[in-house]
Amino acid sequence: MAVPLLACDRGGTIADRAKPVHAPRVARQGDLVELIRLEPGIQLDIRYASTNNFTGQKLYDEPRAFLVRSAAEALVRAHRAAQRDGFGLTIFDAYRPWRVTKKLWDATPPGPKRNYVANPEKGSKHNRGCAVDLSLHRIDTGMLVEMPSGYDEFSERAHRDFMATSPEAAANRSRLERYMEAEGFRGISNEWWHFDYAGWENFPILDVAFSEIR
């Protein structure tokens, strides 16, 4: 079915009009799948649905996680591979409506920290339902494993090649990378928790609220 495209025309603030952000074309429909419907063992810790995130603001109304169908199915396979070793996936963020990418950008002061947030003029792979932020938990305790930094810690400790960390944290980072890369995801250099799904460019930028996804 053809996906209707229309420009995002949500109202901006006066400050937005003073320094315009040109919205990309966004779609209002996509083939998004809720991850826990495919695999209930995937844990959710959706930070943007709480105030426990770098903005201190609740940006999502509901703590839910969606990806496009092929990425969601690949993620389930990664989770099952982790389970065989006594681990599971914990999701911090997956599909993100475009309007939230804009809010994150506006909440980040101009400067080096903006290297860690997507420019809304280009949109994010999260907006396409093709990127996921995640970590590992231990199945026996349900607790997150040690990683070199916290989620959304905008420092060099978040970099994939940061080696001045404990052997356990480095091993857990590599373990997560192995599960994800085996299923067609690719990590990025400056955030150990972020993975893009191969073929993301074939999916449109979406601005659909979680509550509107059927």
Which residue in the shown chain puts its C-beta closest to Zn ion? 194
The answer to whether 179 touches 81, Cβ cutoff 8 Å, is yes
Query: Which entry of 34, 153, 183, 191 is annotated as an active-site residue?
Result: 191
Does 128 bind Zn ion (CB under 5 A)? Our answer is no
121 labelled catalytic: no
Q: Which is nearer to Zn ion, 26 or 117 (CB)?
A: 117
Rounded to a whole number of angstroms, the minimum distance from the CB of residue 80 to Zn ion is 22
Q: Closest Cα to residue 34, out of 60, 6, 72, 2? A: 72
Kindly state whether residue 194 participates in binding Zn ion, applying the rule CB under 5 A: yes
Judged by beta carbon, residue 47 or residue 194, the one nearer Zn ion is: 194
Q: What is d(CA 81, CA 53) in angstroms, rounded to the nearest whole number?
A: 29
Question: Smallest distance from the beta carbon of 173 to Zn ion, in angstroms?
Answer: 15
Cα 68 to Cα 49: distance, rounded to the nearest angstrom: 20
79 near Zn ion, judged by CB under 5 A: no
Shortest Cβ distance from residue 94 to Zn ion (Å)? 9
Strand ranges (DSSP E) for the chain?
5-7, 25-27, 32-34, 43-44, 66-68, 87-93, 131-138, 185-188, 191-197
Which chain residues interact with Zn ion by CB under 5 A? 133, 194
The set of catalytic residues is 191
